[in-house]
Every structure is written in structure tokens, then in C-alpha cells.
Structure 1
Amino acid sequence: MTSETEAVATPTELVIRPRKVRRVAPVLAVALVAVFVVVGVLLGDTPTGAYFRVADQIAMAGIGLALAAAAMLFTRPRLRADAEGVEVRNIVVTHRFPWALVQEVNFPDGSSWARLELPEDEYVSVMAIQSTDSEHAVKAMRELRAMHARYGTPAPRPKQDEQ
């Protein structure tokens, strides 16, 4: 498998990662580090009357590195689905759900990313399928819905009250 492959479908496994954010985040990270390093260097020569030490300049570069690391967290989202269930890794947290818990896979109008509908009106956002990825997101939703149809259990229909 090459690194260019973003969505891999096999009969038993599906792996989806966002595309656009994985191209934009590294550029943003480099820009943040560059800007904060330049600001740190220029801090030593300010005519404002404030006195900045070398530690302040290093701290500015450190802030740039911390912000760059935070920007790179947006490249982490991934969805992995197989016959047993679906694993959703968003920016920080990873959840694994058996197909029996997933009632529906949808992409609400106006939403930035897809979501898994769970029992009792709960849901989990799937940041790996983002609206900014256009056709890649459409293809990913089709593949994920096909896996849900194959391995998931049909959602129970609401009971009508007898009166």
C-alpha cells in the first residue's frame, strides 16, 4: 500500500483518513513556527521601551512549536471498520463500537463531518470524513454505509403506543 492511498477498501476492512486537512496542517505548522521564530528574533530589538531577554525570545519560538504541534493534531482522524465494528479516532480520543451499537451512519446537512448514530440519541462525530474532501467524503460514506448494511443489525422500529 502506498502512502498516497487515503481510503482502502477490502472485503473485510475499510480505512478512511481525511485528505485536505492532511495537506494544509503541515503547511500551517511550518508557517506558525516561522512566524513565531521571526517574532522572537525581532523581540530583542524593539523601540517600545520594554526589555525582552533571551528567555523571552526562546519562549516565543516555543509557543510557535506548541501551536504547530496543535495544528498537526488535526491530521490524526481516522476511521477503521471491519466485520466486528468500527473504530473512530478523532483528534485526541479513539472509540471502538461493535456494529450492533451503530444504528445509522449519516452526514447531516451543513455538518463539517459525518457521524455514527448510537442508541439513546447519542452520536459520535467521524472527523475522518469531512465535507471539505468532497468526492472523497462521498465515496467514503458509500463504503461505510455498505459495511454498515452488511455487518450492522437493522435499527429497531419505534413501537406504537396502544391506547
Structure 2
Amino acid sequence: MDAVIRIADTAEDMEQVHRVRREVFIVEQQIPEDEEWDDLDPLCVHMLAAGPGGEALGTGRLIHGEPARKQSGRDGVVLLGRLAVLPAARGTGLGVALVRALEQAGVEQGAQEMELHAQVTAIGFYERLGYTAHGPEYLDGGLPHRTMTRPLTD
């Protein structure tokens, strides 16, 4: 798929990020709205994938620094979250490209490992990208998840 992936760094970019997340998580997956939006958003690096006409197709965020350490309990870890690709762009490789862009942003933050909390239905996708699941299933937003990690350094 022809898409440009870049850091969302303007108010307009963030409106597009929120539109994609609203459509995928709140409308499609019926995650409660008050669980989708959190205080971490302003602290994160957000990626936006846009098509040739500039239309938003996908997004993801990277939690880094102290918020990542608090959530993971470990130093050198960044957290990938809120990965969302609109239905029309699924199966095109856009999700893979977004994950790789977020991993690169993690490396640029000095991280040695990426952690994510995958919906159980997405575990196979992340395993194909080198992630390993750890621990039991748990509910997040009413959906079963598992924690997954991947080293970012050789």
C-alpha cells in the first residue's frame, strides 16, 4: 500500500489519529470511550499513516521515558500501543510498517526492548514480527490481551 508514515506532530495530525482510533476501537471494537483516551496521549510519540491523498489510514503510539518505566517496571523498555489500521487498509502491510516505524522510534529513544499489550486475536500478527507472548490473558477494554515483548537491539 502506498502510505507515508510519519510522526503526528500537529493538532490536525492528532485529530486524524483520534479519528482512526475512534473508528477502530470505539465504534468497531466497542471499547468504552473513557477507556480509550488517557493521560498518556500527550506524553507519547504518535505515528500517523496517510494514503496518497493524505487520508489517515492507521496509527500507533509509543510510550517512552518514565511513563514506560512505570508501566513495564523495567528500564530500557518502550511500549507500543493503540495500533489501529482502518478496515480498508488491512492486509496491505500497513500494520507491519507502523510497528516497524514505532520500533525505530523506540530505538531512537534509547530503548533495548519493545513491550505491547496485544489483543489475543492479534497475537499471531505480532509473533510474525518477532514478538513473544508472556504471562496469562487479562482483560483490557473488555477484550482479552497478553503482554508481548521483542528485543530492539542485537
**Both structures adopt the same fold (TM-score exceeding 0.5):** no
TM value normalised by structure 2: 0.29
TM value normalised by structure 1: 0.28
Greater Cα radius of gyration, structure 1 or 2 = 1
Report the structure, 1 or 2, having the larger strand content.
2
